[in-house]
Structure 1
Amino acid sequence: MRRRTLIGTALATSVALLSGRRSIAARPEHQIDALVIGAGLAGLTCAQRLIADGQRVLVLEARQRIGGRIWTERRQGSAIDLGASWLHGVASNPLHRVVTQDLQLAVIHTDEQSRITIGLNGQPWSAERTERAEAWLDAFVRRAEDSGSTDQSLSRLLTKPLSSDQRFTLIADVEHELGAPLSAIAANAPLGDGQELVGGDALVPDGLDLVVQYFARGAEIRLGQVVHKIENHPQGVRVTTTAGAVFEARRLCCTVPLGVLKRNLIRFEPRLPNAKVRAIEHLGMGVLDKIVLQFPERFWDPTTWLRNDGPEAGLWPEWVDLTGMIGRPTLMGFIAATQAQQLERLPDQAILTSALNQLKRCYPKRVIPAPTDVLMTRWGQDPFACGSYSFPAVGSTPGMRADLAQRWDAIVFAGEAVSATHPATLQGAYLSGIQAAQALLA
């Protein structure tokens, strides 16, 4: 399951957005039927379904923007998605229909075979070398899925010393897909849990923020509302923010990311049921960060994917060429798991230097100009995400996602982490929002 980036133009949408800088008084319970915590894709989808049923809904969002882990930056008429980026498995992805039919936006199917891997000696891998590494990985994945267990780490299955090619392939195709080190990934799920995604992956050149705006239309959304306590009473729910604002409603959908739940940044009263506590503790939250570099001229080979098999394993091992989509020489680099967490602690200039050094390693004889624009992420340090997406950690089971989704009196949870069929994907978040609305209306 790939998580990449997309580029494009904006669409105006009417959304009732109120800044958190304004004082907000508590609203009586009878004025709100449902509260939704989080204005990401899951929360907005849930809100839309409830509104369509005639419910009076209020969405509380901690950030000063909507979208959550969909984060689109617009530069010089182009959109660059720094969070969620891809429509995975478009053959059965309901968001593909929303994008292409409801929004009538174009999509670009990506070619995974258009890639160059630069080896330790600075030379590109041959086709035969690439095929050997891929064949080894396929065999390893099949063995892990057949014989691995949930209480065993993926690294424990590596009983023989790895070649440098095998190690790189595991980093680029497993650790980067799940955002976690092999030692943290459950051995039976080397490529993640959930259903197999079929039909390939697609980018939306106009940007994913347009999808967010589409699902936000007509919803009342309060920005800057950092929730720190949720009370679940027989007569309804009561929410308190860090600023002291209080909201009451008959029911509530909580869509805060798993990473936030894992850090206990929201207090639940009474305490969450044991099954939900176990799910939060055992499911993993991965980290995948990106850096976007725009250059005055192109210096790299003509390929969609540039893979960096350098001596510093896991340091910016993958780059995607965005030049064709935005019309300016642009590369986006990826870094994940432990390397990403370590790099996030450094200042911007140090992160930029580390990325440029890896590009110079790939092209030591070419002149690499200074970038004209730079964007970077720190999803692990983002207090409203605490990571990029969930993954099947050692000790977790698919049933834990269902436990997290299960309605608890007046409260239901939604988001990619609760999806047993499509975790860590946009469609997982979308479908969980629909499921949550149905549960609240039942």
Structure 2
Amino acid sequence: MELRNRNTRQLRPAMCYSKIKNRHPASPSAIIIGAGFAGIAAARALHDASFQVIVLESRDRIGGRVCTDYTFGFPVDLGASWLHGVCNENPLAPLIGRLGLPLYRTSGDNSVLYDHDLESYALFDMDGNQVPQDLVVKVGEAFDSILKETDKVRQGCNEDMSIQQAFSLVFKRRPDLQLEGLANKVLQWYLCRMEGWFAADAETISLKCWDEAILLPGGHGLMVRGYRPVINTLAKGLDIRLNSRVSNISRHHDGVRVTTESGATFVADAAIVAAPLGVLQSKSIKFEPRLPEWKEEAISDIGVGIENKIVLHFEKVFWPNVEFLGVVADTAYGCSYFLNLHKATGHRVLVYMPAGKLAQDIDKMSDEAAANFAFMQLEKILPDASPPIQYLVSHWGSDINSLGSYSYDKVGKSHDLYERLRIPIDNLFFAGEATSALYPGSVHGAYSTGLQAAEDCRMRVLERYGELDLFQPVMGEEIVSAPLLISRM
């Protein structure tokens, strides 16, 4: 079936490796909804397998929740910015290595809790007094002990509960682990950092499932030049239609029909839905026929967290030469932290990173108000701070194109939901970080699900064409690899 729009303007046909001349009027075709990492990965793979491919993207740019901004004259990632798992096992490692993109390793630990090594923290109380480093380390060890105790709680309970509830039970069982004064404020900061990993508050994170995802070895590496070079490389030569917000996806026995808000209609053999989970939850895309109930439940029951970035560019450096500046408080909500890009990239930039309820509240502010709020937090710990000369603010929670940052396991919901969201429905396939049971919430998770959806799509379509053996596989191709360029460690 040939890809076309409603005005019947023909696309340039892709070459079909068929030994039977004129067997089909056109080569196999697919429509990809969403030009984030999952969508672009799927489109790249199918394009290279001689499918006709169109990518429909609602934004005026590609990348989705990967957004490298150059307003300051140098790259700053407003969305995803780390490679979680700096190792050859990471699906993105061959591409990043081949492009020669440098990574700044912020931690050699592949833990959820320590994406920065402890010695890279400088924590302060609200009066600007720095927390002694030995106390930071000591409380970090206590936090680790508390988490181990929550595992005992998990093993002894049939019903799920939140991480916050589990902490309360631990303190009742082990009052010796309960901290007071400054130590408790540091503990709240560690909890705040954990919430940042999931982009959600501890009261909503599942005790049963919070550690179900696989963490690749090698620690965490910051993309020094941003993620844009990677997504641009994958997107080269693809037919991508920007400002094309999909409103309807209709599937039939012999293909799919996709309609955009502007009224343009596209038809193809199959479609891959790589829209963010928050967008699917908003039901702004209508499916005909309606998706099965189990699929709708998967969409609605996976959590969507919010983490924003307020990027402050300064004329001079006035802060300590550490990777993370933290503000400790009586509650996790009152705590905050700044990523110091100067140490990693040489640019005079601090990035304030609120998550969960705090991110939701800041999301409602104007850019100016949000930047002022972040600077006020900075002034609390560094009274001599000079105002920023420029700022950038993300609004992932309120952005109609994302409606959230990334997925997490909600209390009472099964981790199997990620796999259910991935399972195809006829000739409709699904991709994105929220369809990755192994690597949810990560760029490499999104990328790998795009490749998987492309392979599933290729197999399904070519089975119908009866030419399965005539096409090369999408996945498993030999890729010329190059070592990752890692600084610091």
| Separation in structure 1 between the aligned mates of residue 29 and residue 390 of structure 2, nearest angstrom | 46
Q: 2:386 aligns with which of 363, 369, 376?
A: 369
Deviations 1:25-81 (A, max 9, x none): 366897671000011110111111111211111111110100101101113541001
The answer to whether the 8 Å contact 1:260/1:383 transfers is: yes
| Separation in structure 2 between the aligned mates of residue 376 and residue 282 of structure 1, nearest angstrom | 29
| Separation in structure 1 between the aligned mates of residue 243 and residue 67 of structure 2, nearest angstrom | 16
**Residues 283-362 of structure 1 correspond to what in structure 2 (within 5 A)?**
283-310=302-329, 313-315=332-334, 317-362=336-381
**Secondary structure of the residue that 2:400 maps to in structure 1?**
coil
- Judging changes above 3 Å, is the alpha-carbon distance between structure 1 residues 136 and 433 closer, same or farther for their aligned structure 2 residues? same
| Separation in structure 2 between the aligned mates of residue 40 and residue 24 of structure 1, nearest angstrom | 25
Query: Which amino acid letter does the alignment assign opposite residue 292 of structure 1?
Result: V
- Judging changes above 3 Å, is the alpha-carbon distance between structure 1 residues 385 and 145 closer, same or farther for their aligned structure 2 residues? farther
Deviations 1:248-293 (A, max 9, x none): 1110100001111111111111111122111111110000001111
Give 1:123 shift.
Answer: 1.8
**Residues 77-96 of structure 1 correspond to what in structure 2 (within 5 A)?**
77-91=73-87, 92-96=89-93
Deviations 1:79-118 (A, max 9, x none): 0010011000112212122111x21222221242311111
| Separation in structure 1 between the aligned mates of residue 361 and residue 305 of structure 2, nearest angstrom | 13
> Which residue of structure 1 aligns with residue 479 of structure 2?
none
> Which residue of structure 1 aligns with residue 431 of structure 2?
414
Q: Which one is further off, 330-339 or 346-355?
A: 346-355
- Judging changes above 3 Å, is the alpha-carbon distance between structure 1 residues 344 and 333 closer, same or farther for their aligned structure 2 residues? same
| Separation in structure 1 between the aligned mates of residue 349 and residue 294 of structure 2, nearest angstrom | 46
The answer to whether the 8 Å contact 1:316/1:355 transfers is: no
Give 1:122 shift.
Answer: 2.7
Q: 1:434 aligns with which of 451, 456, 460?
A: 451
The answer to whether the 8 Å contact 2:57/2:244 transfers is: yes
Say whether 1:109 aligns with 2:129: no
> Which residue of structure 2 aligns with residue 127 of structure 1?
133
**Residues 3-402 of structure 1 correspond to what in structure 2 (within 5 A)?**
25=7, 33-91=29-87, 92-100=89-97, 102-111=98-107, 112-113=116-117, 114-148=120-154, 151-159=160-168, 160=171, 163-172=184-193, 174-190=194-210, 192-310=211-329, 313-315=332-334, 317-364=336-383, 366=384, 368-402=385-419
- Judging changes above 3 Å, is the alpha-carbon distance between structure 1 residues 351 and 441 closer, same or farther for their aligned structure 2 residues? same
- Judging changes above 3 Å, is the alpha-carbon distance between structure 1 residues 382 and 440 closer, same or farther for their aligned structure 2 residues? same
Give 1:300 shift.
Answer: 1.1
- Judging changes above 3 Å, is the alpha-carbon distance between structure 1 residues 197 and 135 closer, same or farther for their aligned structure 2 residues? same
Give 1:145 shift.
Answer: 4.1
Give 1:326 shift.
Answer: 4.5
The answer to whether the 8 Å contact 2:163/2:206 transfers is: yes
Give 1:413 shift.
Answer: 0.3
| C-alpha RMSD of the superposition | 2.1
Give 1:363 shift.
Answer: 1.6
**Secondary structure of the residue that 1:243 maps to in structure 2?**
coil
Q: TM-score w.r.t. structure 2 length? A: 0.81
Q: Which one is further off, 154-163 or 52-61?
A: 154-163
The answer to whether the 8 Å contact 1:145/1:189 transfers is: no
| Separation in structure 2 between the aligned mates of residue 300 and residue 64 of structure 1, nearest angstrom | 36
| Separation in structure 1 between the aligned mates of residue 80 and residue 217 of structure 2, nearest angstrom | 18
| Separation in structure 1 between the aligned mates of residue 328 and residue 398 of structure 2, nearest angstrom | 27
The answer to whether the 8 Å contact 1:89/1:199 transfers is: yes
Query: Which amino acid letter does the alignment assign opposite residue 50 of structure 1?
Result: L
The answer to whether the 8 Å contact 1:316/1:334 transfers is: no
- Percent of pairs with identical residues: 33
Give 1:390 shift.
Answer: 0.4
Query: Which amino acid letter does the alignment assign opposite residue 381 of structure 1?
Result: S
Query: Which amino acid letter does the alignment assign opposite residue 413 of structure 1?
Result: F
Q: Which one is further off, 421-430 or 342-351?
A: 342-351
| Separation in structure 2 between the aligned mates of residue 309 and residue 315 of structure 1, nearest angstrom | 7
| Separation in structure 2 between the aligned mates of residue 28 and residue 408 of structure 1, nearest angstrom | 28
The answer to whether the 8 Å contact 1:28/1:247 transfers is: no
Query: Which amino acid letter does the alignment assign opposite residue 432 of structure 2?
Result: G
| Separation in structure 2 between the aligned mates of residue 270 and residue 165 of structure 1, nearest angstrom | 52
| Separation in structure 2 between the aligned mates of residue 325 and residue 315 of structure 1, nearest angstrom | 27
**Secondary structure of the residue that 1:25 maps to in structure 2?**
coil
| Separation in structure 2 between the aligned mates of residue 76 and residue 337 of structure 1, nearest angstrom | 27
**Secondary structure of the residue that 1:289 maps to in structure 2?**
coil
**Secondary structure of the residue that 2:240 maps to in structure 1?**
strand
Query: Which amino acid letter does the alignment assign opposite residue 138 of structure 1?
Result: D
Determine which structure has more spread, i.e. the larger CA radius of gyration. 2
**Secondary structure of the residue that 2:275 maps to in structure 1?**
coil
The answer to whether the 8 Å contact 1:150/1:187 transfers is: no
Aligned residues: 415
| Separation in structure 2 between the aligned mates of residue 271 and residue 302 of structure 1, nearest angstrom | 55
Query: Which amino acid letter does the alignment assign opposite residue 248 of structure 1?
Result: V
Deviations 1:292-344 (A, max 9, x none): 11111111112111111146743561111112455442111100100110111
| Separation in structure 2 between the aligned mates of residue 402 and residue 312 of structure 1, nearest angstrom | 35
